[in-house]
Structure 1
Amino acid sequence: MTREHEDLLSLLTEVRSRLLITVRGISDGEAAKRTTVSALTLGGLIRHLATGERLWLQILRTADGSLPEGMLDTAQYTMSETLSHWLSAYETAAAETDAYVASLPSLDVEVRLPTTPWSPPEPQFWSARRIVLHLIHETAQHAGHADIIRESLDGANSTAQLA
């Protein structure tokens, strides 16, 4: 594994950890509760990110542009199951992503992205590096959403919980 692999996976681990702080000590009911005008919930965000890591790993592994099952599922942001179920799914997906990325000899490997309704008309190719950067971006963005939702829920936020 190169220094670049280590740096990117370390940053991805850091943003995942920051996100997980926002769900410490909450119940399933709290995880499913909307606290803002947005439909986002803490449990829904964990489900979305667990699902997203699984889908992006499948895209990275197949590299052929095939559309992973569930990629167009509009219910990704709702919490089904329990929070512990989605936390376990997220932990598993994260470990599988990390192991696969660490096994790549180079992050320059390119994969064809699936065609979706929001895709440009021409085929798109991303490097493994860009996929990891996308996961970092997506996780950090949703960690911010989760922080607002948690603060609206009970006044806690990731900064206060780190102390």
Structure 2
Amino acid sequence: MTTATSTPLPDEHSELLRALAEQRELLLITVRGVTDAQARQRTTVSELTLGGIVRHLATAERVWARIMVTGDGELPDGMLDTGQYRMAEQDSLASLLESYATAAAGLQDAVGTMPDLGRTVLLPTTPWSPPEPIHWPVRRVLLHLIRETAQHAGHADIIREALDGASTTARR
């Protein structure tokens, strides 16, 4: 895996980005062949939808890329926006997937600028933050994104299975 400048990434960078890409791919399997109407449809008591999950993960990758690059503790635009969990009527699944792909490329580029994944960044203060400042190494940010993507890929699999019986493991 390389950055936009075609400079090879160090092994750890590549491995973490590869692990994240694998989790993204599992999520993307769940939306194959889904219509916009299906992407908006709730299939459980949760408010989550397939389109909402894609939108949220695109937002998460953009937000965390900014946090990694700036490390200034400022709250990125959209981080606390509850609308990121919903697919708006004007959204298409195709546009959300394009946004997700753009965010993924941006994250990869951001990681490519990090010579040391042990570099710590100041996290923004959020309503759930403890009172003292929190610093994470960039490595932990990437591990957080891998975990969050995996968790939501599982949610998406359940939603899709309830929608039409398809899943990431069932043959179609």
TM above 0.5, one fold?
yes
Q: Which residue is equivalent to 1:27? A: 35
Which amino acid is the alignment partner of residue 166 of structure 2? A
Match of residue 101 from structure 2: 91
Match of 1:141, SS?
helix
Q: Size of the alignment, in residue pairs?
A: 162
Secondary structure class of the residue paired with 1:116: coil
Residue 54 (structure 1) aligned with residue 62 (structure 2): yes
Q: Which runs of 5+ in 1 are unaligned?
A: none
SS at match of 1:158: coil
- The two structures have a TM-score, normalised by structure 2, of 0.91
Shift of 1:130: 0.4
Residues 15-65 of structure 1: per-residue CA shift (max 9 Å, x gap) = 000000000001000000000111100000000000110111111111100
Matches of 1:153 and 1:70, distance apart in 2: 29
Distance, in Å, in 1 between the alignment partners of 2:50 and 2:125 is 29
Deviations 1:79-103 (A, max 9, x none): 0211111100000000110122123
CA distance in 1, matches of 2:133, 2:49: 34
RMSD (Å) for aligned C-alpha atoms = 1.0
More helix by share: 1
Sequence identity percentage: 60
Runs of 4+ in 1 over 3 A off after TM superposition: none
In the TM superposition, what whole-angstrom CA distance separates every residue of 1:100-150 from its partner, at most 9, and x where no partner exists? Answer: 212311101110000010101000001110000000000000000000000
Q: Please list every run of 5 or more consecutive structure 2 residues that lacks an aligned counterpart in the other structure.
A: 1-8
